[in-house]
Copies of this chain bind each other. A is one copy, B any other.
């Protein structure tokens, strides 16, 4: 007796592709903020971005069909910003600021298209690289990761019956909601979705975002995903990422220039954005080094985002530094965003509560936690540590040291030089789960 829309069913038969990325706004907000600065000040820099699978045991090229991957990447290249999207970018208020994007930048952006890609297989992995102007290659990071991650999910779920799939998603929903109920107990929590790049799928991320919106109320401050922020009337969240200091460092000629490059980034940033957007990402070449050499004005910034040190240890280090510089941590913000889950959010919140402002950017364990949800234990639904990092700038190697040596990227020899310049004090090796 259930009504079947015959026309829809027949239309569905004609599908050639179920696109994963369907909008250029299906990306992280910080990419757009960084892009405006790159466009404004470094339009000539050439930058290569490269896919890096840190979970080596997972042979992505064996899991995902190359033709399917190419079809998805090709589809993403057909996308342009729509009129509605352009109007929203121009008219919306971000971090309390109107017209954060300059009209000239938006004009340029309206013609934006993702550039070409290089793809080949090597030893069970995909070598996926994007060559060209930094203004273009940078924009592949999030869609490339989202496409590969969702293709992995689709491969893992292929062959499961309709009913089994129903149970898989029911369990994942129940699991997330249990986390929501735990987090609801933290009265002053401020948390946002940072889960685009490693989401199980677009539709699942959308469900998660709607879940947090309904379940956490005003404790849920928004999403890093621009499209989901627009569609759900949420704040678009995010400031800047490692690619800025990595490129600045790569372009530095002398050791002294290299040592100072992270602060140069901040000066550039400050000239573009102010107020709530002044969040320092200190760990690109080690937080300890960063703090030691930081000019005093860095302590005037609104907050820090420790992204690779253990959260409590990393937060304490920054608080101590603020105090040494005579700033009151209670006026400052710590943004935690590395490998968070309900438990680490709780323990970090409880540890720092009352001593500093905090916000949490919840990523992979929000949008891709299907552990234990499959009818039989399978690892192919588990998220992996996949990143897409700038690897060269104007032909020079770009590297990241990180507070966690397991998260370092780049050529070993160059890493050696950077370690000599920045020192390696305070770096702590930890397993990288996601």
Write the residues of chain A forming the contact surface with B, with a CB cutoff of 8 angstroms: 3, 5, 7-8, 11, 161, 163-164, 166-167, 169-175, 177, 181, 210-211, 214-215, 375
Contact = CB atoms under 8 A, between A and B. Distances in A.
A211 B214 CA distance: 29
A167 B163 contact: no
Given A3-B5, A3-B11, A5-B8, A166 B161 contact: no
A177 B172 CA distance: 13
A210 B163 contact: yes
Contacts of A166: 173
A181 B3 CA distance: 34
A214 to B, nearest CB: 5
A206 to B, nearest CB: 11
Contact of A177 (B3, B8, B167, B210): B167
A115 to B, nearest CB: 26
Copies of this protein chain in the complex: 2
A263 B74 CA distance: 77
A65 to B, nearest CB: 26
Contacts of A181: 375
Contacts of A174: 167, 170-171, 173-175
Contacts of A167: 173-174, 177, 211
A214 B163 contact: yes
Nearest to A169: B170
5 contacts: A164-B214, A167-B173, A173-B174, A174-B175, A181-B375
A248 to B, nearest CB: 41
A162 to B, nearest CB: 9
For the complex of A and B, 4 pairs with smallest distance between CB atoms: A170-B173, A174-B174, A170-B170, A5-B5
Contacts of A173: 166-167, 170-171, 174
Given A3-B11, A166-B173, A170-B171, 13 more contacts: A3-B5, A3-B7, A5-B5, A5-B8, A163-B211, A163-B214, A164-B214, A170-B170, A170-B173, A170-B177, A171-B173, A171-B174, A173-B174
